[in-house]
Amino acid sequence: MATFKKLASGKWQAQVARKGIRKSASFATKREAQDWAARQEFLATNVETSKSNLTLGDVFDRYAKEESPKRRGERWEAIRLTSLGQYPIASKLISDLKPQDLAEWRDSRLKEVSAGTVRREMVLMSSVLTTARKEWGLLSSNPMSDIRKPSSPPARDRRVSDGEIERLMTAAGTDLLQATARAVHAFRFAIETAMRAGEVVGLTEDSVDRKSRVASLPITKNGTARQVPLSSRALALLEELPDSDVGVFGLNSRQIDVLFRKARDKAGIEDLRFHDSRHEAITRLSKKLDVLSLARMVGHKDIRMLQIYYNETAEELAQRLD
């Protein structure tokens, strides 16, 4: 309901109150004040009507179109949100969404996939709901904040042996004109540098200073640029590559994943992923660099993150004691 009052200055003040929220503004004439109040009431009514018709699936779609493109994980988010949109909870009206609904979805999802997958999906959904609350005004609170996440799975501690690297090279071949051979070559380079797959395939001639032995990464997973020092071995691996117009390794993220798995399976190696190169690299580098230098090289702002990747065995530690 709107109320109007003439101020001592001669202006007219309009006040609009709806569900405990008040807005006010002053105008030169009463007519202007009335027009403004009518507009505010119209907007409030229609926004509330729009909210009442929106489903969680609608919010997923909007987030995928407006917010995901701003992130490095755009493709993963878009695919995941499309998948989440197929579940019954997506048809729930956003205005009716309760923590209990999300808890039921979580428990059902845990019967289908790992706890780690559910945690990642919950983080994504929480980001969607937070944006819907803060940016779009569709929620007064984020119901996901009241939901307990599944326990984190144990940190992966897969190491890579020299023997396995030799088997990968045998399976992929040594002809670096072949994409599969370059995928394994990239794996070896990642072990030298602790760079992620996406960072490796993103390398260009302009981003590698061979004289100073530094690779510049303008975009990384945590959103900040990073410079990676290159060992003489890492530099030698780069020198062996043929010229390419599409990055130093001539591969994209999808190719490097598919081709590495192809070589791994041909080599008969079990439970090995490209990202295990980062675990191996950090463990090896820990013998050469102090913890702060290591964190800077691999791009960890919180040195506690190194504990996730540092996997030196007790036997290796024992040898360092002598």
Is residue 185 flagged as an active site residue? no
Active-site residue, from 196, 226, 264, 278: 196
**Looking at the predicted structure, is the pLDDT value of residue 308 above 70?**
no
**Looking at the predicted structure, is the pLDDT value of residue 155 above 80?**
no
List the structure tokens of 181.
């051979």
pLDDT of res. 317:
63
pLDDT of res. 122:
94
pLDDT tens digit sequence for 237-295: 999 999 888 889 999 888 999 999 999 999 999 999 999 998 899 888 888 888 788 88
Is residue 221 flagged as an active site residue? yes
Mean confidence (pLDDT) of the chain: 86
0.85 cut: is pTM over it?
no
Active-site residue, from 80, 106, 109, 300: 300
pLDDT of res. 129:
94
Give the three-class secondary structure for 78. helix
**Looking at the predicted structure, is the pLDDT value of residue 47 above 60?**
no
Is residue 309 flagged as an active site residue? no
**Looking at the predicted structure, is the pLDDT value of residue 318 above 70?**
no
Q: DSSP label at 195?
A: -
Is residue 196 flagged as an active site residue? yes
Nearest CA to 128 out of 192, 181, 176, 57 is that of 57
pLDDT tens digit sequence for 67-126: 888 877 778 888 899 999 999 999 999 988 999 999 999 999 999 988 888 999 999 999
Inter-residue contact 152 to 115 (CB < 8 Å): yes
Beta bridge partners of 55: 93
Active-site residue, from 221, 233, 254, 288: 221
